[in-house]
Each structure stands twice: as C-alpha cells, then as structure tokens.
Chains A and B, each alone.
Chain A
Amino acid sequence: MPPDNPPIAETRAIEKFYAQPSGARVQVIAPTNLEIMPGSFTALLGPSGSGKSTLLRMLTGLVKPSAGQVLWHGEPLGLRQPDAAIVFQNFALFPWLTVLENVEAPLQARGVDAAKRKKNALKILDTVGLDGTEGAYPKELSGGMKQRVGFARALVVEPEVLFMDEPFSALDVLSVETLRNELLELWLGRKIPTKAIFLVTHNIEEAVLLADRIIVLGRNPGSIRTQFGVNLMHPRDRKAPEFTRLVDYIYKILTQPGELPPPPLRPSPETAQRAAEPPAPLPHTRPSTVAGFVEILLPRQSAQDIYVLADDLGMEVDDLLPIIDASVLLGFVRVNEGDIELTAAGRAFAEADIQDRKEQFREAIQEVPLLRRIRRGLEHQAKHELKDEFFLDVLEEHYTDKEAQRQLDTAVSWGRYAEIFDYDADSGKLWLTEPAENESVEA
C-alpha cells in the first residue's frame, strides 16, 4: 500500500461525553484519531465498555460525536453520506419481509427499478450461498443463514467500506467458522468491490484470524491503547506460534491496564531497518541501583514473589518495577508469573568485584538495542564522537521530546557505568571511551 494513499475515512479527535444534570461530564470516549485505509481489513478490539460500537457508529454517521470530526474522503459527515454498509450483531432483518425483499430494500432506497433490483439481489444471494431461500422469511432461517442475509443486504449496495458490528457473536461455533472463512474468501479473492472492511469485536482470536490491522481499545474512558499490523499469511493457523504469541500479547494488553507489554514479534531485519518499531525503551534506573538490587536477591535462594519482595524492601511495587525491568533487560534476573529469580549471569554479577562488574555489565548491554545503536553510531565515526542532537532526533521519532531526553540520559548513565562511552553536557558530545572492539564492522 503506497503511503501517500489518502484514507477513505478518518476521525479527527472525535470523542463522546455526556453532561450530567450536576454539570459534571462523563467521558465515554476520549478524543480519538483513527483512519480507514483503502485495502485494509481493520479490527477494532476492546473489552465491553470501551466504546467500540459507538466508534463504529460515529464513523458511519449514525451517532454524532460530542466533539471532533469524521471525514470521508476529506469531507465532513453531514455534508455527505458515507458509502458504507453495516452487518449488525443481531442481524437487524425485517421479519415481515422475505429474504429477497430484505436484500432489495437498500436498493429500493437508492431508487433502483424493480427488475434490476431483483436481479442484483438474487446475484448477491447466490454469492453468499443463499440461492433458493429468497422466498423464505427470516424467522424460518437458522442464525447463520440470517447473518448471510445480513451480509447479502450489506454487500448488495457495493459499499466502499463494509462495517461489521460483532457480526459473529450471536451465532453458533460452526456457523461462525464457515462464515469467517467465506468472508475471507470473498475479501481476499476480490470477489466483492468493497475497498475496506472494519470489524468491531471483543474476540481476540477473531481479530488476529481476520484482520491485517488491529486497533486495541482500553476503557474508562474508551481510548486507543495501541495499534499494529498483522503480517501473518492467510489462511492463518491458530496453532502457529506467531499466532498464539500475538493472541497472548493482545490478551496481556487487555488485562493490564497500565503500561503496554513489549511486542511479541521479533523485529525482522527489514522492519529494524525501517526503524518503524521503536527500540524497547530503557527503564529509568541507574546501574548502581541494579547492582544493589541483585545483591539483595543473592542471599534469597528461591524465586521471590514481587509483591512480597516489595513489601520486604519497604517499597511500592510501582517503584520496584523499573528496576526489575532493567535487570530483566540486562539478563540478570528472570520473571515468571510474578516471581523473580536471579539468572546465572545475575548471580555472577552480584558476586563479582567492581572491576569484574563493569566487564560483565559491558557484556550485558550488548543486548540492549538503544545502547548497541549508540555504540555502533560512535564506532562508525572517524573521531568516534557524535553530537547528542543526532541521537535525540532519532529518539524523538518514537518518544516525546521529554522522554527522548530521559532515554538519552539513562543511556548515558549506563554507558558511563560500563565505560563504553561518555558524554559532555556542555558541548553536547558523546564519545567512545574504549577502543572499538571490531574495526571491521560492515559499513
């Protein structure tokens, strides 16, 4: 997808709130920006109460946002009607109309004449596997068949974007499986002229199975936690490790209201070069604190519960977490389901004297992306020195200005401790303090 492709629909800081009689304001959805790109199959995933259905309704113009704007092809809704269709959770078929009449109804609203209407409706019914049922009433059909009618009614108007609001959640397991596969077949096989699909669901597996882009929502108020692409090949195998890793990752996001867990997919060389993925942020902890922490752990032979440990140390868990994160990043401890334990490297680090510690720390930070990148950058320079602006520019692509500065500060404190590089705040220069290990690094 060329990056300069304009989105079909986008939202500009749309939000939803209700004013209470007391004057207080209940925020349901925080200001949200999202876009629907041509050729994309987006899944909007979130727990109940995260406002996913409301977002869908604001995108399609069914619900007016309290503030912000929804643009379709750059024009605000209200001036134009979105070229959209919706497949509803509970089908929303008219029980007094036959299957054929239900599918014809949207065409009738568009002023299509009777003969053409019937022809188009029968054709789309055939496409979704409903040929022969056109004379039946919806109540004579099974749930799966009813939702096929729902799909037929949506597809008959050849919408630019097909919206689906929990389309499979009222169906039995077997119908869901078939319907999902058939939908993918229509979409991937380009058998329908639809340019984009937007799926609202609370089912993680469903999102990973179908979508090529997933937006995860949090609640109180509803807001986007994160969004990412899914590059798995179709048909997707739910047992494949990449699949389960992604599902677990999303599960973690949904169950941990605080910070985002690290992304599960190892960056491929390609994505690393694109620098699209931010390097894992450094926890803001001094190396000496890490050293003190592993020393405390040393006499404790078995794995420690983090909460118990925090209690023992008279610390808040929130204060302990960055230290643990740093120790994990350096490979000194491992965390398993809330229990923390020293690794062999960590034990050696704790038992070593100050000089050995520096040596071991230098070893350990080889695996830390940001430090590795700074070191490589300096090594490539003839004078082995660089202005801090260079690194700040890179960091600011992924972090706020303040956070970028903090990241660099932390990196410098780690680099100094390891005696790899040093920094002069006045001149703003970073330079290597040790000779480059490997002069013949590929250019």
Chain B
Amino acid sequence: MESAPIPSSAAIEGSRGLISRLTDIAVFAGGLALFYGVITIAQTWAGPFRPAFAISLSPWSLPQYAAYSLMRLTIAYLLSLLFAILYGYIAAYNKPAERIMIPLLDILQSIPVLSFLPGVMLAMFALFPTHQVGVELGSILLIFTGQVWNLAFSFYASVKGIPRELREATRIYQFSPWQRFIQLDLPFAAIGLVWNSIMAVAGGWFFLMACEQFVLGSRDFRLPGLGSYLQTAAGAGDTRAILWGLAAMIGIVVLVDQLVWRTVLAWAHKFKFEQVESAPPPRSPLLALLRRSAPAVYLQRHFARPLGERLTARLAARWRTRPRAAGATPRARGLRWAVSALVLAVVLLGCFQGIRELAGIQRAEMLHVLAGAGATFLRVMAALALGLAWTVPVGVAIGMRPRLAKYAQPLAQIGASVPATALFPVVLLLLIRVGGGMGIASILLILLGTQWYILFNVIAGAMALPSDLQEAATIFRFSTYDRWRLLILPGIFPSLVTGLVTASGGAWNASVVAEYFRLKGHTFSITGLGAIISRATDAGNFRMLLAATIVMSIVVVGMHRLVWHRLYRLAHSRFKLES
C-alpha cells in the first residue's frame, strides 16, 4: 500500500519563495529606476547654464518636476545629516570648540533661509559659471541651511546626554573613537535624529518654492521643480495648475511619509534606549520585506559587514598603538594654530565688511527695519495665540481619549506634512475674493506653518497626564474650571513650552515667505521684517538684507534667551511630572 504523497519540503520552500522573489524583483526594479533618474538629472546638471528654465504648467510635466524636487531635497537632506553629525560631534567632544559652536548654532538657526540666498548663489556662480550644476547646488545649499541646524543640535544634545556608565564602558574597554561612534554615539542619537529629520524635510518642502525660484538683483532664476511649478502657476493665476501642483506635492509628501519615514521609524525602534520593552514596536511591512529580500541581505553580508569589520579593526589597531605622550605633537599644534588663525581671519573680515556695509545705512532705513520688526513680532504673537487657542483644547481632547487619538493622530500628521507655502496661493486667492488682505493671509500662513508643533506637543503632554491624578480629579468632583486650572494646564505645561519654543522659531522664519508674495503678476507685501528681507534679496540690496537679518537674529535669540529659556526652566523645575 502506498502512502499519500507528502509535499516535499522543496515545494513548500518554492511557494514561500514566490513572495520573497517578487520582493527581490521589486527591490531590483526600484534600484534601476532610481539609477535611471539620477543619470537623467545628472545630465541636466552637467549641461549648460539655463538660469530661467521655462516651466510648463501642463500636469504631465509634474512627475518630472517632482523627481527634480525630490532629488534636490534628498541631496540637501543627506548633506545636512552628514554636516549635522560632524558639527554636533565636534561640539560634543571638543570643549573649546563647544563654547563657540553651540551659541553660533543658536544664531544660525535664527537666520531665515532667504538671507543666505545671495551669498550662497554668488559663491556658486563663481565656482560653476557655465554649468547648470552651480544654480542647482545653490538651491540645494539653500534647502540645506533650513534643515541642518536643528539636526546638528539634536545630535549634539543626544551625545551630551549619553549616560555616564555607557560612556565609561567604552573607555574602560578601550573603544576606538570610530567604534564608540558606531556602537554608542550614533545609535543613542538615532531616534532624535529620525524625528528631527522628519521635521527637517518638512521644512525643506515648506521653503521649496522660495529655493527653486527667486530673483537676485536683476536676474530671475527658475529651476525645474514642483516649487517653481507652483510659483509659476500662482504668478499666472492659473488655479487649475495650482491645484494640480498642490495635489502632486501632497501626494509625494504622504508617499514619502508612508514609505520612507514609517520604515525608518520602525527600523530605528531598536535604538530606543530602554531597559525593558515598554510598548509594542511600530510595524512596517516594507521594512520586513526589505529585511528578507535577497539583494539587501546579499549586500549586507558581502559588502557592508566585511567592510565595517575591516574598518573597525584597522582603526582599533591604530587607536591602541597611538602615542600616549602627554601634550600634542608639534604638527598637531601647528595645525590647530593655523585653523584658529584662519577662522579668526574669516570672522574678522566678515565683521569688517559687514560694518562697512552697515555704516552706510540711512536713519530712515533703520527705522523702517525696526518698525518691520515690531510688525512681524505682533504677527508672530498673533499666530502663536491663535495656534494656542485651538490646539490646546483639541490637543487635550485627543490626548486624553486614547480611542480618539488612534484616528486623529495620523490625520494630524498628514495635515502637518502638507507644506503651508503650497497652500498659500490658494488661501490668498480665496481671501482676496472675500475681501481679506495680506494682513490676515500672512498671519494665517505663519499659523499654518507652526501650529502643528504646538498641537503635537499638547497631545503628547495630555497623553502623559498620570491617570491617578485624573482619577483624583474625578473623585473630588473638580469643576471643569478647576480641572483645567489644577490638573490639565500645569500637567501639559512642559510640553506646551517645548511646542511654543519650536513654533516661535519657525514662525519668524516663515514670516519671510508669508509677508511677500507674487500672485497673478502682482507682488503682495506688507510691512514686516520678513518682507524687508525678501525685498532686499530680490533687489540685491545687501545693506538692508544684512540689517534686517541681524535684527531678526537678535530678536529671535533674545526671545529665546529671555523668555523661552526661563519658561523652559520653570517647566522643568516646578511643573515636571515625576513618577
């Protein structure tokens, strides 16, 4: 008697292998497509200088423009990440450098992207006078300046916050700086870097329009991309094209969020610094597929790992045999002197030039800048107040109801990822139709750009309110007023301050694009520091640009030091909820 045929293990393998083989094909195809895109874009860049690209408003050109913009954002982001890690690392490990680099970071963060524009562009023209790559790099550098400072600070703060024992473990076991970086610094900073990366890229989308199309003195620059598409559409007053562009941008932002950031977040979960598993890890089907796909596994096993192994071993050997003599070698000392002298010379030269430029400023111009600062200050405050007014009740409502939070949070995340600048033409068109003007529109744009920071922090704060305090409030029959006064507001105060700090910084930066806008052939503008900066850039008026930028920097850093820093300390001393 014959037994029933048992499916062979090979057959089972085969059927299971089908899915993973499809994944392999998909991964492979994705790689090819990316390669093709890069080659095409590289050809344009290597091509002749075409400062004012003729933007077609046909929806069919959108995929191509989207690819250009994505490419720019990706390169800018990767550059930012590299630079931020380098900057943060040096600041964290070099005490003398730290004393200069960290306050400098505060100032750089407060300078709006557009203020960098003339300098960056002129430098790029000088470097690549005949090739498109010059303008492209300039645009990328502009996006870079909007992203890098936050990332650098995040990395620096993470490295400084590494628990003492972990640091001591790397020292007692004689880790080379490279091994320490790979096994301690980078993993410890990973989650902070991921969250800040998400914010940085969102900031990149926000300023994309300004970075892809701009006027510099007499010259008009226009690069192929989604941002210039939207601006051209707005300039022409083509509502259909505006909506197409908006849809394309939102689509890409949501797609990037789902495909890239969710995957990265799921991957980064393993870097969470905790002693016990506290919450179920986030899932990402894409990450699971990637981990199983043959090309990825092959690359990891045959390239990444052996390479890392050899690098670590080489650097470890060098570290162990380093000379231990006290003091620096004469060569190192000489180098340090040279670097210091160079930095000092550049700073002095910059100061000298700046002072010479500013010396020519008229009294009226200065008053204009100060009045603008006052107007923008009021506008920023109004936007923050409006933001508070709606985000606090809504955020608390969402945060205290876990079931609601489950649905509302992803929605809010998508809402936040839509760049407000892209909505601006639509908003402005509507407002003009109902009779509102630039005054309302600019506040609205600042609000659209910054309310999310407050909302997310309020939700997080409300979710963290201890349930025993809530129960106590219920048992003692607090009135709604008392509940807010005694429990909710003090409870969410630290998160609220964190949100406000970020929002206020963002608001000042956003004022540059919010107070000055070209629509339907008109230039809409309003008294304000942001408008002054935009106009000065357009007109190539470096004196006004410098004066306005310095004033903005002073106001933002001053606010940070005098107001936010104190509130922050108060939040972390009196209102800290500790278990």
User: Could you list 14 A-B pairs, sorted by A, with CB under 8 Å?
Assistant: A60-B172, A78-B326, A79-B324, A85-B173, A86-B168, A89-B165, A94-B166, A96-B271, A108-B313, A110-B320, A111-B313, A113-B313, A139-B275, A139-B276
Kindly identify, within residues 308 to 332 of chain B, every residue whose CB is under 8 Å from any CB belonging to chain A: 309, 312-313, 316-317, 319-320, 324, 326
Contact B175 A105 (CB under 8 A): yes
The residues of B that contact A79 with a CB separation of less than 8 Å are: 324
Contact of B274 among A61, A95, A105, A153 (CB under 8 A): A95
A105 close to B172 (CB less than 8 A)? no
Supplied contacts A62-B172, A109-B179, A146-B275, 9 more A-B pairs, CB within 8 Å: A88-B169, A91-B275, A92-B168, A108-B179, A108-B312, A109-B174, A109-B320, A111-B316, A139-B275
Does A57 have its Cβ within 8 Å of any Cβ on chain B?
A: yes
Residues of chain B within 8 A (CB-CB) of A60 are 172
| C-alpha gap A90/B167 in the complex (Å) | 12
- B163, CB-defined interface residue at 8 Å: yes
Taking Cβ atoms with an 8 Å cutoff, the residues of B that contact A are 163, 165-166, 168-169, 171-176, 179, 183-184, 187, 270-277, 309, 312-313, 316-317, 319-320, 324, 326
Q: Which residue of B lies closest to A63 (CB)?
A: B168
A81 to B173, CA, bound (A): 10
- What is the chain B residue whose CB lies nearest that of A101? B183
Known contacts A62-B172, A86-B168; A111 and B326 CB within 8 A of each other: no
A441 to B183, CA, bound (A): 74
Specify which of A57, A91, A140 is in contact with B277 (CB 8 Å cutoff): A140
Check A139–B171 contact: CB distance below 8 A: no
**Chain A residue at smallest Cβ distance from B186:** A96
The 7 closest A-B pairs by CB, nearest first: A106-B173, A92-B165, A92-B169, A96-B187, A88-B165, A109-B175, A111-B316
A157: B residues at CB distance < 8 A: 173
With A78-B326, A95-B274, A110-B316 as known contacts, state yes or no: A90 contacts B175, CB within 8 Å. no
Whether A249 sits at the interface, judged by CB under 8 Å, is no
Most B C-beta atoms less than 10 A away, residue of A61, A89, A95, A157: A95
Residues of B within 8 A of A224 (CB): none
CA distance A146 to B277 in the complex (A): 14
Interface of A is mostly: loop
| A105 and B276 form a contact (CB under 8 A) | no
Residue on B with the closest CB to A89? Answer: B165
**Contact residues in B for A140 (Cβ distance below 8 Å):** 277
Q: Is the CB of B173 within 8 A of A111?
A: no
Are A108 and B163 in contact (CB-based, < 8 A)? no
A80: B residues at CB distance < 8 A:
324
B313 to chain A: closest residue by CB: A111
CB-CB contacts of A95-109 with B at 8 A, as 1s and 0s? 111000000011011
Closest residue of chain A to B306, judged by CB? A114
Chain A residue with Cβ nearest B314 = A111
The answer to whether A114 touches B309, judged by C-beta atoms less than 8 angstroms apart, is yes
**A84 at interface by CB-CB < 8 Å:** yes
B530 vs chain A, min Cβ distance (A): 42
Tell me the smallest distance from the CB of A334 to a CB of chain B, in Å: 49
Residues 134 to 162 of chain A near chain B (Cβ within 8 Å): 137-140, 146, 153, 157
Chain A residues contacting B277 (CB-CB under 8 Å) are 139-140
State the CA gap A113–B277 with chains docked (Å): 32
Inside 8 A of A97's CB, which chain B residues have their CB? 183
Q: Please measure, in the bound complex, the distance between the C-alpha atom of A86 and the C-alpha atom of B171, giving whole angstroms.
A: 10
Is the pair A88, B184 in contact by a Cβ cutoff of 8 Å? no
Closest to B169 in A: A92
**Do A62 and B168 touch (CB < 8 A)?**
yes
**In the complex, what's the smallest C-beta–C-beta distance from A392 to chain B, in angstroms?**
46
Cα of A108 to Cα of B317 in the assembled complex, Å: 10
Query: A81-B174, A85-B172, A111-B317 are contacts. A137–B270 as well, Cβ < 8 Å?
Result: yes
Taking the closest CB of chain B, its distance from the CB of A53, in whole angstroms, is 10
A91 surroundings in chain B (CB, below 8 A): 165, 275
Cβ-defined contact, A62 with B270, below 8 A:
no
- How far is the CB of B74 from the nearest CB of chain A, in Å? 26
- Least CB distance from B269 to A in Å reads 10
A113 CA / B317 CA spacing, docked (Å): 12
Determine the chain A residues whose CB is within 8 A of the CB of B163 once the complex forms. Answer: 90, 92
Q: How far is the CA of A106 from the CA of B184 in the complex (A)?
A: 13
* Candidates B171, B174, B275, B324; contact of A95 at CB < 8 Å: B275
Question: In the complex, are the beta carbons of A94 and B184 less than 8 A apart?
Answer: yes
Which residues does chain A contribute within 8 Å of B270, judged by CB atoms? 95-96, 137
Contact with B along A71-85 (1 / 0, CB 8 A): 000000011110011
* A110/B174 contact (C-beta < 8 A), A95-B274, A96-B187, A139-B274 known: yes
Tell me the smallest distance from the CB of A171 to a CB of chain B, in Å.
12
Given known pairs A79-B324, A84-B172, A111-B320, the reply for A105 and B183 (CB within 8 Å) is yes
